[in-house]
């Protein structure tokens, strides 16, 4: 196959053009800052159909695609191809998915277009379609979905858009889809610096550094200790792609920067989360060693199989994933520091521009809803908890408010098929959710600092161009009686608890001692037994401080090679007197559960029957994957007053499963309430 941009003249012209434009537009910054005049003076977008491949050239980027819709080359800023030309053509820029027939084995499939067509072709825009149609003859070997991979190239853009239309029709068999994503592999000789956020940027190890002889494998294949990396500065660090995960709401731009002399940035920009599964705080992968840049649309990461997209036999479906923007920028040669800063800042600016432009008006399909076909909903959320505020209401300050497919309160975190639209309310609980795709939804919310999940008790029907004003809504969080004590903050995360220092021999330098993201360090689960050598954690209400005395994950204790024992934590407290009748309420909110069963005992740690058990729950793997939460769980436990004594009392918590070091739970918040007094009923 002919390689992309082999014409030296072309490459040189591009470089000359861009350099000249830098100076013409009076800035030494990146190409995205081309003025409108400079853009309009550029030649139009050209589609060149070659025998083996398609080439689209908008004079800023030149992209080559195979006829089945794989991105095989991206030529930019004098670099012939930012993708690794020595990789097989299906292993550079591609879509893939992981699926299984119910009960069957898991399949990995790269999405291969069978039918190529030009959707639009003019000076301003070229849109291409690569369509995979499912037929009975591919049962078992290809996911039962029709998939249309689309690419959009626009005049003057320093990059291109990608989106996919996923459809199921009657007659398709049942399926579970665990993952849908876009992958780009970049040239390893050029891209060494990765940037995910303002504070998460670093020079990365190479693929070879992770191979036998250069590293030491750790507890699972994703994590290695770099023993002889090609860059000696990285020696002694841990590499694990899960250390670079991010919540959906923050996963808007990430990517890589190449070395001088021609510094280039390659970025994944995701202007909206509406198509991702699991809501705004679901976590997922970003970029990692390869160099690889991912765009995860659907996954079970940090959630488990319970969030798979499950379709019944014959169940129909249609959803558009994307568009997302693959953005390239460049800087003049300079020190790594200043180049990285310049390109990262510019990538963030570009991300903001894409967010402003969302929803786009240019995709050529009726399946994507343009701005004028979307609706808006607004309102104000109040909280009524008579034991927090004596006044009747408080504002749902900074509440997360969202629309997702109809379901129970909190169901959005396991919802993987529909669109979701989220916003954060202001300090008075006012919210406006714009650009909602028409359809039926429930309105959901949770409020940082307030326990539980809100759901508005009516189906919301969004119509094209419609504006629904809900007025004031009131969330009445779970509450039976006044708080006796509480541990933590109800915010769906264990971050406020004690996160230990990592082993000095197992660090990632990105997450220094004072970093808010220290929980991303490898091996913290083993630190529990270092700190609680013989006796398990005891939390004395009124004396202990949860930020120091409550370990952020409740894990088993290692007692020998590959042998672990469950651990039991004790919450000790003092009752001056006990209510004569009625139930106390123990509320346990979990930030994560990993193949666990949490048993709760009251005052008798040895009792055969626990007071309460969660049953077997969870598979979010947040412990091994350095999360500080996975899926959220809330258990409300009635404890009859005759279980308590005047004086000292204890509640014992035991995650009973201890097969591996990564099983257990993370707590979000625990509260004990008095029985309701007749006066307040």
Binding site for ligand NAG (CB under 6 A): 457, 582-583, 638, 640
Which CB sits closer to ligand NAG, 448 or 582? Answer: 582
d(CA 304, CA 498): 25
Question: Are 67 and 54 spatial neighbours (Cβ–Cβ below 8 Å)?
Answer: yes
Which CB sits closer to ligand NAG, 81 or 442? Answer: 442
Which CB sits closer to ligand NAG, 427 or 581? Answer: 581
User: Is residue 643 classed as helix, strand or coil in its secondary structure?
Assistant: helix
In the bound complex, what is the minimum distance in angstroms from residue 654's beta carbon to ligand NAG? 21
**Six-digit token pair at 190?**
């050029």
List the beta bridge partners of residue 181.
Answer: 96, 296
Residue nearest to ligand NAG (CB): 638
Which CB sits closer to ligand NAG, 365 or 384? Answer: 384
Which CB sits closer to ligand NAG, 200 or 587? Answer: 587
User: Which residue in this structure is represented by tokens 């004086």?
Assistant: 647
In the bound complex, what is the minimum distance in angstroms from residue 582's beta carbon to ligand NAG? 5
User: Which residue in this structure is represented by tokens 């949490």?
Assistant: 598
**Residue in 429, 463, 468 with CA at minimum distance from that of residue 445:** 429
C-alpha dihedral sign at 400, 403, 408, 411? negative
Q: For the residues of 352-416, what is the DSSP string, one character each?
A: HHHHHHPSPS----SSS--GGG-EEEEEEEEE--TTT-SSS-EE-TT-EEEEESS-STTGGGG--
Q: For the residues of 79-128, what is the DSSP string, one character each?
A: BS-SS-TTS-TTSSEEEEEEEE-TTS--EEEE---SEEEEEEESSSEEEE
User: Which residue in this structure is represented by tokens 């923050």?
Assistant: 250
In the bound complex, what is the minimum distance in angstroms from residue 539's beta carbon to ligand NAG? 25
In the bound complex, what is the minimum distance in angstroms from residue 585's beta carbon to ligand NAG? 9
Which CB sits closer to ligand NAG, 146 or 583? Answer: 583
In the bound complex, what is the minimum distance in angstroms from residue 70's beta carbon to ligand NAG? 50
Question: Are 639 and 602 spatial neighbours (Cβ–Cβ below 8 Å)?
Answer: yes
In the bound complex, what is the minimum distance in angstroms from residue 457's beta carbon to ligand NAG? 4
In the bound complex, what is the minimum distance in angstroms from residue 458's beta carbon to ligand NAG? 7
In the bound complex, what is the minimum distance in angstroms from residue 442's beta carbon to ligand NAG? 11
User: Which residue in this structure is represented by tokens 């030009």?
Assistant: 118
Which CB sits closer to ligand NAG, 616 or 638? Answer: 638
d(CA 323, CA 363): 8
Q: What is the DSSP letter of 200?
A: -
d(CA 493, CA 121): 48
Which CB sits closer to ligand NAG, 260 or 461? Answer: 461
In the bound complex, what is the minimum distance in angstroms from residue 233's beta carbon to ligand NAG? 59
In the bound complex, what is the minimum distance in angstroms from residue 480's beta carbon to ligand NAG? 9
Which CB sits closer to ligand NAG, 270 or 583? Answer: 583
Judge residue 64's burial from the number of C-beta atoms within 10 Å of its C-beta, 0-12 exposed, 13-18 middle, 19 or more buried: buried
* Cα end-to-end distance, the chain, whole Å: 78
**Six-digit token pair at 461?**
């029907």
CA angle 420, 97, 162 (to 5 degrees): 65
Which CB sits closer to ligand NAG, 248 or 442? Answer: 442
Q: How many residues does the chain have?
A: 681
Percentages helix, strand, coil for the chain (3-state, rounded to 5) are 15, 40, 45
Q: Residues with Cβ < 8 Å from 591, sequence gap 6 or more? A: 492, 493, 494, 622, 628, 629, 630, 632, 666, 667, 668
Which CB sits closer to ligand NAG, 242 or 454? Answer: 454
In the bound complex, what is the minimum distance in angstroms from residue 643's beta carbon to ligand NAG? 11
Question: Are 630 and 621 spatial neighbours (Cβ–Cβ below 8 Å)?
Answer: yes
Question: Are 170 and 314 spatial neighbours (Cβ–Cβ below 8 Å)?
Answer: yes
**Six-digit token pair at 480?**
């039976």
Which CB sits closer to ligand NAG, 370 or 640? Answer: 640
């Amino acid at each position: 196959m002919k390689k992309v941009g082999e014409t030296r003249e072309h490459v040189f012209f591009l470089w000359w053009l861009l350099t000249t434009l830098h100076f013409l537009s009076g800035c030494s910054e990146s190409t995205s800052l081309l003025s409108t005049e400079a853009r309009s003076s550029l030649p139009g977008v050209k589609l060149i159909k070659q025998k083996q491949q398609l080439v689209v050239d908008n004079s800023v980027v030149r992209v080559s695609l195979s006829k089945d819709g794989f991105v095989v080359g991206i030529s930019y800023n004098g670099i012939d191809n930012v993708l690794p030309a020595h990789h097989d053509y299906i292993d550079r820029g591609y879509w893939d998915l992981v699926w299984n027939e119910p009960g069957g084995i898991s399949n990995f499939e790269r999405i291969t277009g069978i039918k190529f067509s030009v959707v639009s072709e003019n000076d301003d825009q070229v849109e291409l379609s690569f369509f995979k149609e499912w037929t009975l003859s591919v049962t078992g070997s290809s996911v039962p979905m029709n998939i249309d991979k689309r690419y959009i190239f626009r005049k003057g853009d320093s990059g291109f858009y990608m989106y996919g239309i996923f459809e199921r029709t009657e007659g398709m068999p049942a399926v579970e889809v665990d993952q849908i994503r876009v992958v780009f592999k970049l040239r390893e000789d050029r891209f060494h610096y990765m940037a995910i956020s303002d504070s998460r940027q670093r020079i990365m190890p190479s693929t070879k550094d992770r191979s036998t002889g250069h590293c030491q494998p750790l507890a699972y294949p994703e994590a290695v200790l770099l023993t002889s990396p090609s860059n000696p500065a990285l020696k002694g660090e841990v590499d694990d792609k899960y250390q670079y995960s991010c919540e959906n709401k923050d996963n808007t731009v990430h990517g890589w920067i190449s070395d001088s002399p021609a510094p280039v940035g390659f970025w994944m920009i995701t202007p909206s989360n509406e198509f991702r599964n699991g809501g705004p705080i679901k976590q997922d992968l970003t970029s990692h060693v390869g160099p690889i840049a991912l765009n995860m649309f659907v996954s079970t990461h940090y959630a488990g199989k319970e969030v798979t997209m499950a379709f019944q036999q014959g169940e129909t479906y249609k959803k558009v994933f994307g568009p997302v923007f693959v953005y390239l920028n460049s800087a003049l040669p300079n020190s790594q520091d200043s180049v990285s800063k310049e390109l990262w800042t510019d990538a963030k600016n570009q991300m903001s521009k894409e967010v402003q432009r969302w929803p786009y008006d240019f995709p050529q399909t009726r399946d994507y809803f343009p701005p004028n076909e979307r609706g808006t909903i607004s309102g104000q959320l109040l909280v009524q908890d008579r034991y927090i505020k004596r006044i009747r209401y408080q504002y749902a300050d900074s509440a997360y408010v969202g629309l997702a497919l109809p379901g129970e309160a909190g169901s959005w975190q396991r919802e993987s098929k529909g669109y979701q639209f989220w916003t954060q309310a202001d300090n008075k609980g006012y919210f406006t959710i714009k650009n909602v795709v028409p359809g039926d939804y429930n309105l959901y919310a949770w409020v940082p600092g307030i326990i539980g999940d809100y759901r508005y008790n009516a189906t919301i029907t969004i119509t094209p161009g419609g504006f629904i004003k809900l007025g004031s809504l009131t969330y009445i969080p779970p509450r039976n009686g006044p708080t006796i004590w509480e541990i933590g903050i109800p915010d769906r995360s264990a971050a406020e608890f004690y996160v230990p220092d990592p082993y000095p021999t197992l660090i990632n330098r990105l997450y220094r001692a004072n970093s808010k993201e220290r929980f991303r360090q490898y091996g913290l689960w083993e630190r529990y037994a270092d700190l609680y050598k013989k006796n398990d954690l005891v939390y004395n209400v009124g004396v202990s401080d949860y930020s120091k005395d409550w370990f952020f994950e409740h894990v088993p204790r290692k007692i020998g090679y590959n042998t672990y024992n469950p651990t039991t934590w004790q919450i000790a407290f003092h009752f001056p007197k006990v209510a004569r009748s009625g139930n106390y309420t123990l509320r346990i909110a979990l930030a994560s559960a990993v193949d666990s069963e949490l048993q709760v005992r009251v005052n008798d740690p040895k009792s055969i029957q626990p007071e309460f058990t969660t049953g077997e729950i969870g598979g979010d793997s947040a412990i091994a994957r350095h999360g500080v939460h996975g899926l959220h769980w809330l258990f409300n436990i009635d404890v009859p007053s005759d279980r308590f004594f005047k004086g000292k009392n204890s509640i014992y918590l035991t995650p009973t499963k201890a097969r591996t070091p990564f099983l257990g739970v993370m707590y979000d918040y625990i509260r004990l309430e008095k029985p309701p007094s007749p006066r307040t009923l």
